[in-house]
Amino acid sequence: MKPIHIILCGAVMLPLSAHAQFIVNDPVAVAQSAVQHAIELAEYVEMVSNQVEQINLLTSQLEQVTAYTDAFGDPSSLLKIAGADQVIGQLKLPSSGQLLGDLQKSSSGAASLTNTSGGVYRPVESINFNGVEIPRHEELYRKYGAVEDTETNYRTVQEESADRIKALKENIADTTSALQSATTDAEVQKLQGTLASQNAQLAALQGEVENAALQVLVQDALNRNNAEKQEEARREKNAAEWGVINKDLDRMLTIPGRDAR
């Protein structure tokens, strides 16, 4: 019989230090934490990428605006057009001169009798018989006064418009020179707007002068028409009176009882 050897394993108890700690690791928790961290990191990278893309887009847009401003000028400068206030102020000024109807109403035969047009003509002399002055019918001279008043109105309009027209022509010349040396599209548009306004004002002033001159021609034509009308009426009256006279003369020369035979 073989001898049985009994091996006793004794546990050696070693004393633990007071600073020793037990570290317990949970593999599942560690894995979940790593996955969550990876997700957050991916989201952060995506956010940064989007921001970089937006910054690049804004930079590109800013470069485009800068390039447009360099090529065409600052569009905000169109809000303030040099000379526009002056043009607007001139356009708001009242028109020179009077309307033909008003001139006709205010025309005076008495004033026409003494009017010399600045010494060019002689005044109409009064009628005297044996030292007795016979007054003229002033109403007959109103039509002449109307022509003279429209001519005076024309000179007034012409004189008042002359300085404004001269100044406008000088402004148009300056604007045209500036337009030729403009370097941006915005500046060109601004100057073109100013030039168009100046030309419109010049045309309006010249139109006022032309209208005043036409009033003189119209009134003169009316006077000529009235003179012909009065002459036609005189001829018709003379013909009618001559006819009545002839009838009366025939009756006077007719022998009584001649028709009966």
Sequence spans of domains, the chain? 30-72, 77-117+138-251
Please report the pLDDT score of residue 45 as a whole number: 78
Per-residue b/e over 126-146, b at no fewer than 16 CB within 10 Å? eeeeeeeeeeeeeeebbbbbb
pLDDT digits (tens, 9 = 90+) for 18-77: 444 544 556 767 677 777 777 877 777 778 778 878 887 777 777 666 665 555 555 555
pLDDT digits (tens, 9 = 90+) for 86-95: 666 766 777 7
pLDDT digits (tens, 9 = 90+) for 6-22: 444 444 444 444 444 54
* DSSP 3-state percent helix, strand, coil across the chain (nearest 5): 70, 0, 25
pLDDT digits (tens, 9 = 90+) for 86-120: 666 766 777 778 888 999 999 998 898 888 888 88
Please report the pLDDT score of residue 14 as a whole number: 44
Please report the pLDDT score of residue 79 as a whole number: 52
Please report the pLDDT score of residue 118 as a whole number: 84
Please report the pLDDT score of residue 12 as a whole number: 43
Please report the pLDDT score of residue 157 as a whole number: 93
Per-residue confidence band for 218, with pLDDT thresholds at 50, 70 and 90: very high
The C-alpha atoms of residue 167 and residue 197 are separated, in whole angstroms, by: 14
Q: Which residue has the higher pLDDT, 201 or 20?
A: 201
DSSP state at residue 254: S
Please report the pLDDT score of residue 22 as a whole number: 47
Instruction: Count CB-CB contacts under 10 A for residue 74.
Output: 13
